[in-house]
């Protein structure tokens, strides 16, 4: 009976999965009932032919069958077809075998018993293989090959032989139970190890189209085939039988079989073993070779054990070699893919041997770090005074690495390096310690990336954001220019009037000192007030880098209200200041905070423009929630759209002629301050915009 499985014979032939796919499952394709019937009949014919061959492969004067091809054929058929059709193919095989037995005049009951025994044996083997072996047979690994040997060569043949020997002896076709048990076990085991791999590997290749081998490979295969046939023929078909036959003949085929295993894998060793098996059986049956020195039963046993002991280890050797070769190919493919990904992403892979202070690095890393190929890299030198790491980053980088070594945690750092040509590059590195044995210092495996362009792009983007914010402030203040001019005209007029009054007072014969002091005090007060207004304008219009520092929110609001007082009066807007008096400072930039608040105040005034004068109320609130200071700008205007977030999108404006950049810039500024800006509809009417800023720490 047969043994292991391949796949289902579909419309285009035997179909196998891709090279590394899960296999041993039939690919079921729609097929007509007629085609299925034809295949079942063809399988029955094959089984009948295999039965006839098995009866030929018996020693003279013996009923022992050295080789039982029907066992391999049935198992292979079951593994080639869908499970739901097993019953039909098994029944067809049993019928063809029964037909052959009746041609030889076997007792009908004994023949039926044989059919049941062969069917159970084949189904058990096929089911075990399908359950435990998931790879395509020519791609099985060593574990799966071992399972194949256990199931098909040992467990099922040995187990079912207890039953087979019992009904054979009971029907007087054998005299010794244990001899029959041994014969059945070894015969089915040899058949499985020799013939099943050939069927499962060879048959699909016969139906596979477009398979071409290199000329050198074909030539080597021809030499191997010739060598296997020549050695087998000389050892088993030309050597005379008898006690003088050299035992060395048994080892003659081993070198060519090892050649087949090393160079052609499981397929090569399976085909070569089948050729040796055929030549050995044929030579023995013709009275030649080293297996005719004892009784027929003992000669059969010697030949079977020889085949079993040669085929099994060489099969496992071929599988182990092929498995190792596939592992190396997979590793090489993985390394090539990794290398391509690393080069495409411009990454540097590195491995720091902490104990020996040696660094292995890919060529890409050496390239952007400024090291020559093959140049020895010491990690300590990389960060030393004569190394490459920027002096301002050495301490932070060394601290991060030391923390990673002590805590066995991830090391992550962005730092600058100085190249020999004087240029500076930004590097982002990430690594993790790999534990070492014997309490040795670990290795740190990591990856680095040149982020110089990213840093330059970030700097340019930041500069553009600052320029855009500055232009936004200029535009906002330009809209308030009339009110600001009016605000400045009051202290300037006061200065002029007081100066004229002072001149009149000084023209008197006896000026009053008290009155003159009061006039000068008014002039100083008016000048200070004008200076505050001008300084506020200068701060809002000044370009410069953002410096996050503790800022008094309430003082900033009061200063902004003084700046916008005239505009609020001109618009008829009254301010309800509900700020909390005792607030800790917020971590922000005062100018940009006032810019955001100014934008929100102007928007609130625009939203209430259509309201009656008494209904134009602007409410400012400040309060603290956990570690955040929140500022609210509330109006009683037209409210918010359904999708509030659209207000913060660039170029989205609800004003006629507006650019739609104000709120987008405001949110960007607050986000850069680690704060938040959002809007909510008020319960009664209008909109509420809120800022949230982190509270400044005491050591800030």
From residue 77, how far is each of 53, 153, 268, 459 by CA, in Å? 17, 18, 22, 71
Multiple choice CATH, 346-450, 3.30.450.20, 3.40.50.720, 3.40.50.12780, 3.60.20.30: 3.30.450.20
Long-range Cβ contacts of 299-304 (<8 Å, 24+ apart)? 299/59, 300/59, 300/62, 300/64, 300/66, 300/183, 301/182, 301/183, 301/186, 303/66, 304/66, 304/186, 304/187, 304/190
- CATH 1.10.1760 maps onto the chain at 1-211
| More confident site: 366 or 77 | 77
Least confident interval from 119-123, 468-472, 473-477? 473-477
Topology, domain 1-211: Arp2/3 complex 21 kDa subunit ARPC3 (1.10.1760)
**CATH number for the domain whose boundaries are 469-694:** 3.30.565.10
Label residue 452 by pLDDT band (50, 70, 90).
confident
- Please determine, for residue 485, whether its predicted confidence score (pLDDT) is greater than 70: no
pLDDT, residue 307, reads: 85
| More confident site: 36 or 23 | 36
Tokens linked to 437:
């044995």
| Angle ∠(524,529,534) on CA atoms, nearest 5 | 120
Q: What does the alpha-carbon distance between residue 513 and residue 505 come to, in Å, rounded to a whole number?
A: 9
Label residue 698 by pLDDT band (50, 70, 90).
low
Label residue 120 by pLDDT band (50, 70, 90).
very high
Q: What does the alpha-carbon distance between residue 227 and residue 255 come to, in Å, rounded to a whole number?
A: 10
Q: What is the maximal distance between C-alpha atoms in the chain?
A: 164
Q: What does the alpha-carbon distance between residue 308 and residue 192 come to, in Å, rounded to a whole number?
A: 10
> H/E element holding 256?
helix 254-285
pLDDT, residue 439, reads: 56
Q: Which residues lie below 8 Å from residue 431, measured CB to CB, with a gap of 6+?
A: 350, 352, 404, 410, 411, 412, 444, 445, 446, 447
554-579 residue pLDDT tens? 888 888 887 777 678 778 888 888 88
Q: What does the alpha-carbon distance between residue 697 and residue 695 come to, in Å, rounded to a whole number?
A: 6
pLDDT, residue 656, reads: 55
Quick check: helix, strand or coil at residue 423? coil
214-255 residue pLDDT tens? 888 889 889 988 988 888 888 877 776 656 666 667 778 888
Helix and strand numbers, DSSP H then E, in the chain? 19, 14
Least confident interval from 1-15, 39-53, 428-442, 646-660? 1-15
Q: What does the alpha-carbon distance between residue 547 and residue 544 come to, in Å, rounded to a whole number?
A: 9
- Please determine, for residue 147, whether its predicted confidence score (pLDDT) is greater than 90: yes
Q: Using an 8 Å Cβ cutoff, are 468 and 660 in contact? A: no
269-287 residue pLDDT tens? 888 888 888 888 887 777 7
| More confident site: 228 or 511 | 228
| More confident site: 376 or 572 | 572
CB burial readout 475-485, b (16+ within 10 A) else e: ebbeebeebbe
619-630 residue pLDDT tens? 999 998 888 899
pLDDT, residue 156, reads: 93
pLDDT, residue 673, reads: 81
Label residue 660 by pLDDT band (50, 70, 90).
low
31-77 residue pLDDT tens? 568 888 888 899 899 999 988 888 887 655 445 577 888 988 999 88
Highest mean pLDDT among 1-15, 156-170, 457-471: 156-170
From residue 35, how far is each of 11, 31, 68 by CA, in Å? 9, 7, 28
Q: What does the alpha-carbon distance between residue 70 and residue 67 come to, in Å, rounded to a whole number?
A: 9
pLDDT, residue 151, reads: 93
489-500 residue pLDDT tens? 656 766 776 677
| More confident site: 144 or 452 | 144
- CATH 3.30.565.10 maps onto the chain at 469-694
pLDDT, residue 465, reads: 64
* Helix 156-170 / helix 108-132 crossing angle, nearest 10 deg: 170
| More confident site: 197 or 570 | 197
- Please determine, for residue 130, whether its predicted confidence score (pLDDT) is greater than 60: yes
396-416 residue pLDDT tens? 888 887 888 778 788 888 888
- CATH 3.30.450.20 maps onto the chain at 346-450
What single-letter DSSP state applies at residue 155?
I
Label residue 128 by pLDDT band (50, 70, 90).
very high
Tokens linked to 573:
């807007």
What are residue 460's phi and psi, to 5 degrees? -65, -40
pLDDT, residue 651, reads: 63
- Please determine, for residue 381, whether its predicted confidence score (pLDDT) is greater than 70: no
Q: Using an 8 Å Cβ cutoff, are 290 and 306 in contact? A: no
Mean pLDDT, the chain, as a whole number?
Answer: 78
Residue 324's region, left for phi above 0, alpha for psi from -120 to 50, else beta, is alpha
Residue range 313-333: average pLDDT? 88
Q: What does the alpha-carbon distance between residue 346 and residue 449 come to, in Å, rounded to a whole number?
A: 7
pLDDT, residue 253, reads: 86
Q: How long is the chain?
A: 700
What are residue 618's phi and psi, to 5 degrees? -105, 125
* Helix 86-103 / helix 33-56 crossing angle, nearest 10 deg: 40
Place of tokens 């102007």: 602
Least confident interval from 270-279, 546-555, 673-682? 546-555
Residue range 421-433: average pLDDT? 82
| More confident site: 609 or 520 | 609
- Please determine, for residue 7, whether its predicted confidence score (pLDDT) is greater than 50: no
Tokens linked to 287:
């009275």
Q: What does the alpha-carbon distance between residue 258 and residue 268 come to, in Å, rounded to a whole number?
A: 10
Q: What does the alpha-carbon distance between residue 45 and residue 368 come to, in Å, rounded to a whole number?
A: 71
- Please determine, for residue 425, whether its predicted confidence score (pLDDT) is greater than 60: yes
Residue range 438-459: average pLDDT? 75
Among candidates 136, 108, 114, which has minimal Cα distance to 5?
A: 136
- What are the start-end ranges of the E strands in 487-533? none
């Amino acid at each position: 009976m047969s043994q292991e499985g391949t796949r289902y014979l579909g419309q285009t032939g035997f179909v196998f999965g891709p090279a590394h796919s899960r296999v041993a499952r039939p690919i079921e394709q729609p097929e007509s009932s007629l085609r299925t019937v034809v295949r079942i009949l063809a399988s029955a014919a094959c089984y009948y032919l295999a039965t006839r061959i098995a009866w030929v492969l018996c020693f003279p004067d013996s009923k022992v069958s050295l080789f039982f091809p029907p066992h391999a054929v049935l198992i292979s058929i079951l593994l080639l077809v869908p499970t739901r059709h097993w019953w039909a193919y098994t029944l067809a095989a049993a019928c063809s075998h029964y037909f052959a037995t009746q041609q030889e005049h076997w007792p009908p009951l004994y023949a039926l018993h044989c059919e049941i025994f062969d069917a159970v044996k084949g189904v058990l083997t096929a089911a075990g293989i399908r359950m435990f072996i998931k790879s395509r047979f020519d791609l099985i690994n060593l574990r799966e090959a071992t399972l194949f040997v256990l199931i098909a060569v040992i467990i099922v043949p040995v187990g079912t032989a207890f039953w087979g020997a019992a009904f054979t002896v009971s029907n007087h076709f054998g005299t010794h139970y244990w001899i029959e048990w041994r014969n059945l076990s070894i015969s089915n085991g040899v058949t499985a190890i020799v013939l099943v791999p050939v069927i499962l590997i060879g048959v699909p290749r016969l139906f596979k189209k477009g398979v071409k081998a290199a000329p050198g490979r074909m030539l080597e295969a021809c030499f191997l085939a010739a060598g296997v046939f020549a050695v087998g023929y000389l050892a088993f078909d030309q050597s005379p039988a008898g006690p003088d036959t050299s035992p060395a003949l048994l080892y003659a085929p081993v070198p060519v079989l090892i050649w087949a295993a090393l160079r052609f894998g499981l397929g090569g060793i399976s085909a070569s073993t089948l050729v040796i098996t055929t030549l050995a059986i044929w030579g023995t049956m013709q009275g030649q070779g080293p297996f005719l020195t004892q009784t027929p039963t003992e000669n059969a046993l010697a030949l079977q054990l020889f085949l079993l002991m040669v085929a099994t280890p060489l099969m496992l050797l071929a599988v182990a070699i092929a498995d190792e070769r596939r592992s190396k190919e997979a590793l090489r493919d993985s390394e090539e893919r990794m290398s391509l990904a690393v080069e495409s992403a411009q990454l540097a892979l590195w491995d720091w041997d902490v104990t020996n202070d040696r660094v292995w690095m890919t060529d890409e890393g050496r390239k952007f770090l400024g090291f020559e190929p093959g140049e020895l890299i010491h990690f300590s030198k990389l960060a030393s005074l004569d190394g490459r790491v920027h002096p301002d980053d050495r301490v932070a980088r060394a601290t991060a690495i030391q923390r990673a070594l002590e805590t066995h945690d991830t090391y992550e750092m962005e730092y600058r390096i100085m190249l020999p040509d004087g240029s500076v590059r930004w590097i982002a590195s990430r690594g993790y310690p790999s534990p070492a044995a014997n309490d040795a210092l670990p290795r740190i495996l990591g990856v680095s990336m040149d982020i110089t362009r990213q840093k330059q792009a970030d700097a340019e983007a930041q500069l553009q954001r600052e320029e855009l914010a500055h232009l936004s402030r200029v535009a906002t203040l330009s809209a308030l220019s009339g009110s600001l001019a009016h605000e400045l005209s009051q202290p300037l007029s006061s200065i002029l009037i007081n100066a004229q009054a002072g001149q009149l007072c000084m023209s008197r014969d006896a000026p009053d000192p008290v009155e003159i002091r009061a006039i000068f005090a008014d002039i100083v007060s008016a000048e200070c007030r004008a200076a505050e207004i001008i300084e506020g304008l200068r701060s809002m219009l000044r370009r410069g880098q953002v410096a996050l520092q503790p800022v008094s929110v309430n003082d900033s609001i009061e200063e902004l209200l003084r700046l916008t007082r005239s505009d609020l009066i001109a618009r008829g807007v009254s301010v309800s200041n509900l700020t909390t008096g005792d607030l800790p400072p917020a971590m922000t930039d005062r100018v940009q905070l006032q810019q955001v608040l100014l934008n929100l105040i102007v928007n609130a005034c625009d939203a209430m423009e259509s309201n009656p004068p008494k209904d134009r109320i602007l409410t400012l609130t400040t309060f603290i929630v956990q570690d955040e200071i929140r500022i609210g700008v509330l109006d009683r205007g037209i409210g918010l759209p359904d999708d509030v977030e659209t207000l913060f999108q660039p170029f989205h404006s609800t004003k006629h002629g507006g650019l739609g950049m104000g709120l987008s810039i405001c949110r960007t500024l607050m986000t850069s301050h680690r704060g938040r800006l959002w809007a909510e509809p008020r319960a009664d009417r209008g909109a509420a915009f809120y800022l949230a800023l982190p509270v400044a720490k005491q050591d800030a």
